[in-house]
Amino acid sequence: MKYLTLNLVIPIAVISFALFTKWWYVLPIDAPDTILNGFPLPFICEGWHTSLSLQIFVLEFLVDFLVYFLFWFIAIYIINKYVITIRIDSHRRVYRDIRRALRGLTLLTILSFVFITAGSDNIFYFKRPWDMKTVKTGYKLIWDNQVK
């Protein structure tokens, strides 16, 4: 299972973390209304001090990624144990190509996250420092232009 975790669970968790999210339209206390993103907890929103900046909440981000990781770990464990044995560790060309594709997409996703968060105007908080009232929520896929 350790091999599956490194070669299947972590890449799928990172890719799904980037593709699927939830938006939250909120009214923060003593701040303008804003939209936060993240599932199950909002971990990122636009910065209020300048345009093209972000506010990133590290604790919420870690909890969100842990939820994605645990979901995929449990799903792949159940499939591997009870449905069909996953043999991605074989030396066949198909399995090797699948591993390389997953690693490449994961690396591309991580690099895009690093590129977005490396801006000098971004603010990192360990935990969200303000209270908020949630007005509306919905989900968003990365390729959708329209939120639902």
Helix (H, G, I), strand (E, B) or coil at 110: helix
Percent of the chain with pLDDT over 70: 94
Q: Please determine, for residue 7, whether its predicted confidence score (pLDDT) is greater than 90.
A: no
Overall pTM > 0.75? yes
Average pLDDT over residues 32-55: 89
Residue 146: what pLDDT?
60
Most confident of 1-5, 102-106, 115-119: 102-106
User: What is the rounded distance in angstroms from the CA atom of residue 23 to the CA atom of residue 105?
Assistant: 24
Q: Is the peptide bond before 11 cis (omega within 30 degrees of 0)?
A: no
Domain ranges within the chain, ordered by starting residue: 2-141
Give pLDDT tens digits for 60-78: 999 999 999 999 999 999 9
- Average pLDDT (29-50) is 88
Judged by average pLDDT, the poorest of 50-54, 93-97, 124-128 is 93-97
Query: Hey, which bits of the chain come out as E strands?
Result: 20-28, 34-37, 44-46, 54-57, 123-125, 132-141
